[in-house]
Each structure stands twice: as C-alpha cells, then as structure tokens.
Structure 1
Amino acid sequence: MLILELAIILLASKLAGDLSVRLRQPAVLGKLLIGILLGPAVLGVIKGTDILEEISQIGVILLMFIAGLETDVDEFKRTGKASSYVGIAGIVLPFGMGYLTGMLLGMPVFEAIFLGLLLSATSVSISVQALKEMGKLKSREGTTILGAAVIDDVLVIIILAFVMSFVGGDVNLGMILVKKVAFFAVALLAGWKIVPWVLRKFAPLRVSETVISAALIICFLFAYMAEYAGVAAIIGAYLAGVAISMTDYKHEVTEKIETIGYAVFVPVFFTTIGIKVDFTGISSQLALIAGLSVLAVATKLLGSAFGARVAGFGWRSALGIGAAMVSRGEVALIIAAIGQEAELLTQDMFAVIVIVVLITTIVTPPMMKLFFAEKKESRS
C-alpha cells in the first residue's frame, strides 16, 4: 500500500506544483493543497501513517540541508545583526499578543503564556522552498531569514524549557541550556575540523557515491544531535549543509542531494502536511480559528518586518522577510504536542492550533510571492 501511496503523492504533488506555477503562485502552495485534497479531510485516498511521517521527516531534513549547502557564509556573517533583530522582534510581538489573547479568552496564566509561546514559533522549511523558486535563497533577505529562524528556534525552545520548569516540576532548566550550548559548540567545531576531514577520507574509497554517502551521514548525525539537545532536527541539518558548503565538495553534494531530495522525499514532506489535516469537530470553533489565524499571521509578519526595517531593509523587503517567518510548521506542532501532554492545551484547543498552524503554512508562499515578486521581475 505504501508503494502505491508514494506513487500517488509524487504524481499529484508534481502536477499540483505545476498548476500552482501556471497560476503565478509558488509550486509549494499547490503541493500543500493537494495534500489536503488527498488526505482524510477530503478524499481519503492517502492515510497518514507512521512510515509516511518518517519519510516526510527525511524530506524536511534534506530540504534544510540543501538550504545550508546553498548558504553564502560570508553573507551569513554580514546579516547576523539583521537576523538577530528579525528573530527577536518576531518573537516579542506574537508572544505578547498571544498572552493577552489567552487572558481575554479566560485561560489560566500559564496556558495564556503557552499560547503566546506557540504563536512565537517559526518553521522556515516552507519558506526555503519558496525562496528557492523565486531565486532569493542566496540573497541578503534569504540569508537573514535563515539566520533569524535559527535564533527564533533557539529562543522559543529556551522559553519553553523555562515555562515547563514551572508547570512540570521535573525540568532542569540549567541542564537544558547546557545541552543547547554544547550542541552548537560541537556542531561548529565539527563543521570546521571534522566535516572536511570525513569528506576527504571518504572520497578515495573504491565504492560508488562515497562523497554523497558521507554528506548524508553528516547531515543525519547533525540532525540527530540537534534533536537530542532539544533543538529542532532541521537546525542540525542546516548547520551540516553550511559546513559542507565551505568545502571543495559543495557543488557535487548539492547537485546530487537535490536530485535525491526533490525526486522523492521533499514532495512527500510538503504533501504530508496537508494529509495531516483533520476538520472533524471544528465547526463550532470557526470564529476562534479565524481570530487566532489573523493574530498569528499579523503579529509574526509585522514583528519580523519591524526587526528587518530597524536592520536597514526597505519596507517591501522587510515585509517579505516578515512573510517568510509566518509559517509555524512542524516546530509549533511539536510545541503544541508538549503542551497537550502537560495539560496546558485542551484537546479542543490543540485541534484549533493544528488548523491555525496549517493556515499560517498555506498563506506564507503567496505572501512571499506578493512582496518579493517585484524585485524578481525587475531582474528578468
């Protein structure tokens, strides 16, 4: 059954992506929507299974690995200040407004704080694909977005650990911080010294595609270490890509990893997001979903755009950067699952959050297209 599902997903995602481009929208939008159509929410052709979820996870890891491979390290260094402004401002406004909204809804203090934290999350895996399609991934804006996403992820996870230390009772905040600092220290050291050495040692082995295998090993190990340290696996994969981008094997790895990723795993990731959607029992929550969706989009868009504007970007570029930070993606879903387990989210609110996360994900590509299109067209 899995083989047939993969065939259907690949066929549908490619056709939907092409149709989306013909309608002057990013291909990723079509892939997200076709997942909703194929999944249990509409046609029920594809069922969300654990193995499909695992393939999807490989897809997002490879997508962020490719983003790392295509990162201009010198530009990344130059945009560090801008990334900090975008990442921090993109947390402060959603967090504050989310907390106030929670209090207005009658939530207890910690539940309101948790709602603010949920709205502060960012996952740029969708934005990365949209940036690639628009030729903006290596631009100053694209590099700022990727840097801001790393900062956003780290800060949100630290705040989450702080909150859980109060409500969970058994969370060691100090140890959590030590693990995160240790991960980044080890990742940077490994990227500088170990990654080039591993690739050089693998290159002369008398078996096929040794360099690509070595690159995948590095990618998966970095992703695993990140997840073990409490940082999202996609951050580890991105850092692995950046490390390899500074070696002589960058172009060989990029070309072949893109072939592997975009042929199978990445389309499954995009389509699976839509497949996860479940509209059961949400009819009574439509007003809440609409309100939280508007709040989620507006606060992240305006907060991140303000940070970009302070960093010296023009308003159009700043809004494009803000739009790229809107998608909450798998990071928010992971946080929501933690909140549900800790009884900071009711089952009904969890279902609402899942729909809100999906909406932020779907609206991100067309918003980016709107703000970035003019610049791209002027170069064409």
Structure 2
Amino acid sequence: IPPLVGQIIAGFLLGPPLADFVPFPEAMVLLGDLGLILLLVEAGIELDVGLVREAGIRPVLIAIAGSILPFSIGLGVALAQGKSIKSGIACGASFSPTSLGVAANALSGGSALNTPVGQLIVASAVIDDMIGLIILSMMEVLVAEEPALYEYFIPIVSWFAAQFVVHCILPLFKVENRPAVAFTLLWALLMAYLPMMYYSRASYLTGAFLAGLSFGQVEGVHHTFVQEAGVIMDWLLRIFFAASIGFQVPIKMFGSSHVVAWGFAFYTAVLGKLPVGLFAPKYDEETPKDYPFNPYVRDVVITSVAMTCRGEFSFIIAAFGIGEGLLDPELYSSIIFAVLLSSITSPIMLTVILKYY
C-alpha cells in the first residue's frame, strides 16, 4: 500500500473534517502546495525523452486509450447523477492518470521494473502523466469565464522559449560547473513560470513541470536537485497529502450509503484501464513447450493491472475540482473513495500477479 494512503487518512482523521486537532490548517495546505510544486519539477527533470522515443508507438497508444476510457466512464457516471458537463469533466479527469510511483514501486518489488514490459509500463505512465497535466491545464482555462484562444498555447510556446535560453547559456560555462549553473537557472525559470502560468490562467503545476522538463537532458541536474531539495520535498509532500488532500475529505460523508455507492460506481472508471494491456507487444516469437505459462498473456495482465494504479495526480485533479467549485463535497467524497480504493487494491493485485508469474 503506498504511503500516501496513510498520509491522507492521517489528514482527515486529525484535520478539520474530524478531530480538528491541527492548528492553522491553511498554513499546512500552503506548505503542502510547495511540496507539490517540487514534485512536478522533479517529474519534469526525470522525464526520459530517450526512453519514450525508443519505446515507440505502443506506450503512446496505451496512454491515450488509458486516458480516454476512464475519462469517458467517469464523465458518464457523473452525468448519470445529474451533474453538469463541467463537473463530469472534472470527474473523468480525476481517473485518467496512472501513478508511475505506485506502479513502479510494485514492479520493483516483483523484480519486473527493468524488464521489457516494466519499461513499457514506465514509458506509458510517463506519457499518461503528461496527458494528465495537459488536462489539468485545460481545466484551469475551463473555469475561466471567457478564455482567449491564445491562453491554451502559452505553456507550449514558453517552454520552447525556455529551451532556447537554457541551451544558449549553459555552453558559456565549464562542464564541471554546468550542473550547479543549471540548478540555479532551474529555480530562476520556476520563479518566472509560476506567475506566468497564473496570469495566463494556465495551471501553475504545468509551469513547474515545464521548468523541470527544460533541464531533463542536462547531466547532473537531477542528482543536484535530489541532493539539495530531496529531503525537504519528501516532508512537504507528506504535508500535501495530509493537508491539501486529507483536510478536504468530508470523512463523515463516507458513512453515507449514497456516497459509497457512487464511489464504487466511479471505481469502474479505474477498471476502464484494463483493456489497454492488449496493446502490449509479443516479445517472444515462440514459447517453449515446457514453459509453465504464456509470456504474452503474462505481459498483457501485468500491463493491464499496472495501469490501473492511481495516486498523486488523481488526488491533485480532484482537489483542484473541489477548490474551483466544479465538484460538490458529496461528489468529491465519492471520487476520493474510489481513488483511495484503487490506491490500495491495484498495488496488491499487481504484487500478487507478479508473485504468481
């Protein structure tokens, strides 16, 4: 079970929804949001463009299908409750991303992370996260009253401009000094991106991701980032899941059969990712006769279950939805129930399958 589940549970048990034990909850939420920004910066730095390029078209197909199917089911469940289209979009978007962290942790425990199917899942989850960020950025514009067309393209144009600036400045310094210079430029770019995204009504989280992505191919930057900011980020993220997510969970609503029933209905959106395993390639042309199982079936099953893992981005999108008034507390509770259920069941199922094979 991923640690974030325990952190969220601690948040709604000790926070305003139940015990109201934590002083100054608004300050805790702010600290948690700083951790979220650092998480997105690291996600951008860690994005292995070469891995995605080498993996070919299959991870792209898995990611796209794995976003469309849960999104459609989540939207349909929300509309079945009589909710608006905007609320339905927020619901569907909450179930689109796959948690790379949760899936990778289970794959690593089963010694499958560095196998071909493991790398396929990693590449698919990376692209899935990028799609999730795009959806989140589009939702920022969705809540604007009269969004201008150019606002949709500001994040993309600004990223290309940042790439140009970075690659012009770094060659001016000695090779041994470039990681430190790049790390400094990273923070400068982040400080520029955050207000730019805010005033252009795009997601500041997209700005954080693009700031990290601008330095993803610069050698030594990720090591420097982890060394200088890793411990702080880990603690701030614990606060994020406890405060920014947990504090907003109306835990008393989990006692409502209506909320729980719709939570299980939303869980079908999680299961909507299962068919994407069919996109897994057949790595072994011929299976030995004495082989105990079909390797292709194994890869399909592992890919299917791994892509159902939910985590950080699902909670982030749901939190944005309730914060912007797209979700009411009851609907938000049902979504959190489904995502929490997935965060617990999917890693367990994946671990059992890996042990079986």
Q: TM over 0.5, yes or no?
A: yes
Quick check: 2:195–2:204 contact (8 Å CA) kept in 1? yes
4+ long deviations beyond 6 Å: 123-126, 200-204, 375-379
TM-score (norm. length: structure 2): 0.74
Structure 1 match to 2:231: 259
2:259 maps to 1:289: yes
Deviation at 1:80, TM superposition (A): 6.9
SS of 2:19's equivalent in the other structure is coil
Q: Percent identity?
A: 16
Structure 2 match to 1:236: 207
Quick check: 2:59–2:120 contact (8 Å CA) kept in 1? no
Quick check: 1:212–1:257 contact (8 Å CA) kept in 2? no
Structure 1 match to 2:4: 28
Deviation at 1:352, TM superposition (A): 1.0
Residues in 2 aligned to 1:365 and 1:210: alpha-carbon distance in whole angstroms: 38
Count the aligned residue pairs.
Answer: 327
Moved more, 32-41 or 132-141: 132-141
2:337 maps to 1:359: yes
Structure 1 match to 2:131: 151
- What does 1:268-347 correspond to in 2, within 5 Å? 268-272=239-243, 273-279=245-251, 282=253, 286-299=256-269, 301-310=270-279, 312=281, 314-324=300-310, 328-340=314-326
Structure 2 match to 1:171: 146
Quick check: 2:55–2:120 contact (8 Å CA) kept in 1? yes
Quick check: 2:315–2:336 contact (8 Å CA) kept in 1? yes
Residues in 2 aligned to 1:51 and 1:83: alpha-carbon distance in whole angstroms: 40
Decide whether aligned partners of structure 1 residues 247 and 57 sit closer, same or farther in structure 2, where only a CA change above 3 A counts: same
Find the partner of 2:152 among 169, 180, 185. Answer: 180
Give the AA of the match of 1:321. Answer: M
> Unpaired segments of 5 or more residues in structure 2?
282-298
SS of 2:324's equivalent in the other structure is helix
Find the partner of 1:142 among 122, 129, 136. Answer: 122
Give the AA of the match of 2:343. Answer: P
Residues in 2 aligned to 1:366 and 1:249: alpha-carbon distance in whole angstroms: 35
- What does 1:209-228 correspond to in 2, within 5 Å? 212-228=183-199
String of CA shifts for 1:51-108, please: whole Å, max 9, x gaps: 2222111111111222222232211234574454344434443444445445544x2x
Give the AA of the match of 1:298. Answer: T
Quick check: 2:12–2:251 contact (8 Å CA) kept in 1? no
Give the AA of the match of 1:247. Answer: V
Quick check: 1:61–1:223 contact (8 Å CA) kept in 2? no
Give the AA of the match of 1:338. Answer: E
Give the AA of the match of 1:328. Answer: S
Residues in 2 aligned to 1:330 and 1:117: alpha-carbon distance in whole angstroms: 14
Deviation at 1:202, TM superposition (A): 8.8
SS of 1:36's equivalent in the other structure is helix
Quick check: 1:199–1:211 contact (8 Å CA) kept in 2? yes
Quick check: 1:28–1:126 contact (8 Å CA) kept in 2? no
Structure 2 match to 1:51: 27
String of CA shifts for 1:337-371, please: whole Å, max 9, x gaps: 4345xxxx6xxxx0112212332442343334224
Residues in 2 aligned to 1:297 and 1:198: alpha-carbon distance in whole angstroms: 48
Give the AA of the match of 1:302. Answer: L
> Unpaired segments of 5 or more residues in structure 1?
1-24
Structure 2 match to 1:8: none
Give the AA of the match of 2:279. Answer: V
String of CA shifts for 1:162-207, please: whole Å, max 9, x gaps: 7x6xxx8x524xx24x32223113213413x323555677999x9x
Moved more, 112-121 or 331-340: 331-340
Moved more, 241-250 or 226-235: 226-235
Decide whether aligned partners of structure 1 residues 214 and 171 sit closer, same or farther in structure 2, where only a CA change above 3 A counts: same
Deviation at 1:269, TM superposition (A): 1.1
Residues in 2 aligned to 1:200 and 1:123: alpha-carbon distance in whole angstroms: 42
String of CA shifts for 1:277-312, please: whole Å, max 9, x gaps: 2335x37x823312322232221x233332353354
Give the AA of the match of 2:93. Answer: A
Deviation at 1:247, TM superposition (A): 0.8
Q: Over the residues paired in the alignment, what is the CA RMSD in angstroms?
A: 3.8
Give the AA of the match of 1:117. Answer: I
Decide whether aligned partners of structure 1 residues 131 and 290 sit closer, same or farther in structure 2, where only a CA change above 3 A counts: same
Deviation at 1:320, TM superposition (A): 1.0
Moved more, 328-337 or 211-220: 211-220
Structure 2 match to 1:195: 166
